[in-house]
Amino acid sequence: MESKSFEVKSNPELWEKLGMDVARFSAMPPMITAAYQKIFLSQKDRPKAMAYFDEMVSEVHSGRIEELVKAKEEGHPVIGTFCVYVPEEIVLAGDGICVGLCGGSQGSIADAEKILPRNICPMVKSAFGFKAGRICPYFQVVDFVYGETTCDAKKKTWEILDQYVPTHVMEIPQMKRERDKALWVEEVKDFKKAVEKITGKEITLESLQQATRKMNAKRMALQRLNALRHHNPSPISGRDMLLIQQIAFYDEPQRFTQKVDLLCDELEYRIRNKVSVAPASAPRILISGTPMALPNWKLHNIVESAGAVVVNEESCIGTRYYKDTIEDGTATMDDLLGRLTDRYMKIDCSCFTPNEDRIDQVIREYRESGAQGIIDYCLQFCHTYNIEAVKLRQACEKQGIPFMAIESDYSPEDVGQLQTRVEAFLEQIQG
């Protein structure tokens, strides 16, 4: 899409029906339009299939919301989530629609800080602020939201969020022993019952199997895409890959899968014909750590504007979301719920202890992606990732892997400082 023709579309009439603060929110589309043009559409040699994902951003506050409203009218509840531990398969099996609600914008934090403490995670504040300020159409369209207990700020915020929108909390165990798995299976069963109550439909073995296959296909398409970007020189930028992974949390799953596969076909063609977004000599960076919710594009933009290319994200908006699938085949409902739980227990969030699996996974992805350095990204006040960066640094030093830890928030105030640090890190990699 041409930069000059791109626009994040507005629909004030729709927003008014959803009970939004239209006067405030009307400033959001122009801001995202300007940022998107600068960060994404200024790139050279982008794959043509990125046009679909550009369109999804253009329709993020209008066309996609219209689809969700229509689905609700047809009897498909819209359920919001904040974490990759919440099983999408169960929502889909209940004939519901799952959308991610994590906040990646500075604009809603002031609304949250009128109610919540200031010294908590920006992502929690951003998400809560979107609802408290009525400045997110996704928050306004959902029928119900599911929180989880991956951090203290989240699990206490959900108690307050329940005053604004019905909120169910799913307990995530903090260890991965057999007794913890047993607890998690029971939580998944309770989650299934809660979804059935919301949707008014029984989740059958057949419907859960169909939903599992749908999500497996989506994850396999993302796995294929991630493997293709590992080629050197890379056929797609890290910025575009981050965007696709963010869109995965609100797009319709089957349509998204088809568009990702079409993009993969084009990337295979680009690789064969030596078409790339950066020279083979460009430093290759893996970014690990906390997730980057839409529209948090700051770090990727800094890294790639400095001449490097991001080749992997070990993140919840990254490989943790799609690296594992659920075993298909003949099963009873209990068998399938057990397999589903096994799959979700392989997600290596820093909330777990001990968590050597995550350290091993980061190093494994570093090797597989052909990266030359790791930048570990942590949002301010995210204590588990901040502390776990110590062990990750130790592992990298032991194996001679260039490593840098960054702590940031959503504001632009530290961009200059981050640029200086990133440029120095890239010089270290290049020798």
C-alpha 100/C-alpha 371 separation (Å) is: 29
C-alpha 25/C-alpha 167 separation (Å) is: 24
C-alpha 69/C-alpha 20 separation (Å) is: 14
Strand partners, 375: 287, 404
pLDDT of residue 330: 78
Tokens of 392: 């990750």
From residue 16, give the alpha-carbon distance in Å to each of 19, 64, 153, 168.
5, 16, 31, 27
pLDDT of residue 2: 64
C-alpha 288/C-alpha 391 separation (Å) is: 13
pLDDT of residue 3: 66
Which residues, 6+ apart, have CB-to-CB distance to 219 below 8 Å?
A: 321, 322, 323, 324, 325
pTM of this prediction exceeds 0.75 = yes
Tokens of 367: 């090797």
Sheet architecture: strand order including 373-379 = 309-314, 284-289, 373-379, 403-408
Tokens of 15: 């927003």
Are 387 and 352 in contact by the 8 Å Cβ rule? The answer is no
Are 242 and 229 in contact by the 8 Å Cβ rule? The answer is no
C-alpha 189/C-alpha 260 separation (Å) is: 32
Burial 70-79 (b: 16+ CB within 10 A, else e): ebbeeebbbb
C-alpha 318/C-alpha 347 separation (Å) is: 11
C-alpha 235/C-alpha 228 separation (Å) is: 8
C-alpha 133/C-alpha 116 separation (Å) is: 13
Which residues, 6+ apart, have CB-to-CB distance to 152 below 8 Å?
A: none
The Cα angle at residue 153 between residues 98 and 324, in degrees rounded to 5: 45
Are 402 and 373 in contact by the 8 Å Cβ rule? The answer is yes
List, as own/partner pairs, every contact residues 166-174 make where C-beta atoms lie below 8 angstroms and the sequence separation is at least 24, other chains included. Answer: 168/144, 168/194, 170/85, 170/86, 170/146, 172/83, 172/85, 172/148, 172/349, 172/351, 174/351, 174/352, 174/353
269: left (phi over 0), alpha (psi -120 to 50) or beta: alpha
In the block, which residue shows the tokens 């943790």? 320
pLDDT of residue 1: 58
Task: Map residue 166 onto helix, strand or coil.
Answer: coil
Which residues, 6+ apart, have CB-to-CB distance to 139 below 8 Å?
A: 80, 101, 130, 131, 165
pLDDT of residue 410: 96
C-alpha 67/C-alpha 222 separation (Å) is: 23
Q: What is the pLDDT along the chain (431 residues), one digit of tens a residue?
A: 566 789 999 999 999 999 999 999 999 999 999 999 999 999 999 999 999 999 999 999 999 999 999 999 999 999 999 999 999 999 999 999 999 999 999 999 999 999 999 999 999 999 999 999 999 999 999 999 999 999 999 999 999 999 999 999 999 999 999 999 999 999 999 999 999 998 899 999 999 999 999 999 999 999 999 999 999 999 999 999 999 999 999 999 999 999 999 999 999 999 999 999 999 999 999 999 999 999 999 999 999 999 999 999 999 999 999 999 998 887 899 999 999 999 999 999 999 999 999 999 999 999 999 999 999 999 999 999 999 999 999 999 999 999 999 999 999 999 999 999 999 999 999 97
Q: What one-character-per-residue DSSP string does 72-121 give?
A: HHTT--EEEES-TTS-HHHHHHTT-EEEE-----GGGHHHHHTTS-SSS-
